[in-house]
Amino acid sequence: MKRGNGKMDFRLTEEQELLLEGLREVLKEVATHEYLKECDDNHAFPQKIAEAFVEHGFALLGIPEEYGGTPCDITTQMLVTEEMSKFGVPFPCFSNSLLIDDILHFGNEQQKAITMEYAKKGLCAFSLGITEPGAGSDDSAMMATATRRNGKIYINAHKTFITEAKQRPYMLCLTRELNAPNPHKAISMWWVDMSKPGVKVMPWEKIGGNTAPTYEVYLEDVELEEEDLVGVEGEGFMNLMGNFEVERIQIAAGVLGWAEAAFEDAAVYANQRVQFGKPIGSFQLIQEKIVEMAIKIENMRNLVYKACWERENGMSLQISSATTKYYCVRAANQVIDDAMQIMGGIGYTKDHRISRLWRDVRNTRFGGGTDEIMIHIAGRAILKKYRNK
């Protein structure tokens, strides 16, 4: 998107147009409905897509050149996320650049090397171990500990809803110093080899998100070395926070693409499906749904692109990242649900991608921050602006 004189301009640059054109050609070949359905049915990571992204240079977008990546702005990264999602690709499987960025900023040389070895294959080397049974939205309630004994570190933790914990060889595990005088300086990040003794992984059965399986992880006296610390001790959560705002925008861009995919399917079907001697798209109740869906998608797109523009211009994302995620995930759920209603019974079958999108999109209303937390973050910040008026 073009930038200049501080004015928003959502027209794509020539480079962005060419990049997206190339991406579409790749996705037409590998992101077929049949293949994505196969991955969903088998609870399998879409490896063919990852390999195609590597082959055509999309896997390392946004990674600094010094690590073998292709630097690009956040807007371009979100455009790629939106475009792949338009093909129905499960974008959470390909949202690794933010995680990689954490290690490139705070990890040691060995951790960086391992991370990039996997990234160059289109994979992520580690899962993110934050959530616990008693610590979801409230990270300060985390009970995982790191204890020093005899020159070693011992991790004890019960982590839950950890994406691909079994498939990824490492975990970036967050622990808390339980009696720390300053709670903001109590959380640390540790690089945990998942093959170590004391690690136990149990699968969760979910109704969606089958291509990104989720696990319960138990760590019992898992022995680490001092060099397994990532970043500065006590500053782990603060280090991660910098990427949370961008993650919210990425989720919004992903569900925007899913909503566009479902909308297109529904609009085509409304023109083709004949009842009472007419295409159902000729009936006003169907037209109302189509119009409302189109308005929601336009609003979603404007919010995502505006948030990207703010990031590119050095503006705070505190409010816009929360409001954008809040609106977009709710709107996407509504658009995809309306698309299923237009499709009727065929949309509810596993033969159609709308049923998969309908299952998968529901997770985005709590994954990456619940609707309620987004309201709390944005509401608190908005009110603060008017406190001394």
Split the chain (389 residues) into runs of 10 and give each run's mean pLDDT.
Answer: 66 94 97 96 94 92 89 93 96 78 90 93 91 88 94 97 95 92 87 98 95 96 97 86 87 98 98 97 98 98 96 94 98 98 96 96 94 97 90
Beta-carbon count within 10 A of 149 CB? 9
> What is the DSSP-derived secondary structure letter of residue 94?
G
SS3 label, residue 198: coil
- 129 is written with which tokens? 């171990």
DSSP 212: S
Q: Which domains does the chain have, with CATH numbers?
A: 3-119 (1.10.540.10), 126-234 (2.40.110.10), 238-385 (1.20.140.10)
Instruction: Give the DSSP H or E segment for 234.
Output: none
Residue with token string 């959560």? 237
Nearest partner of 290 among 339, 354, 337, judged by Cα: 339
CA distance 1 to 3: 7
State the burial class of residue 345 (Cβ atoms within 10 Å of its Cβ: 0-12, 13-18, 19+): exposed
What phi and psi values does residue 95 have, to the nearest 5 degrees?
A: -110, 45
The whole-angstrom separation of Cα 256 and Cα 239 is 28
Angle between helices 284-312 and 236-272 (to 10 degrees): 150
Q: Cα–Cα distance between 270 and 8 in angstroms, integer?
A: 35
Quote the CA–CA distance of 176 and 194 in Å, as a whole number: 20
End-to-end CA distance of the chain: give it in Å, rounded: 36
322 phi-psi bin (left φ>0, alpha ψ -120 to 50, beta other): alpha
Task: Tell me the sheet residues that pair with 132.
Answer: 135
Map residue 189 onto helix, strand or coil.
Answer: strand
Instruction: Give the residue ranges of DSSP H helices in the chain.
Output: 14-30, 33-41, 47-55, 74-86, 97-106, 109-119, 236-272, 284-312, 318-343, 345-348, 353-362, 371-385
| Model pLDDT, residue 330 | 98
CA separation, residue 233 to residues 11, 54, 139, 228 (Å)? 44, 34, 16, 11
Task: List C-alpha distances in Å: 375 to 1, 192, 274.
Answer: 29, 34, 43
| Of the candidates 247, 260, 207, 262, the residue with the CA atom closest to the CA atom of residue 367 | 247
What type of residue is 179?
N
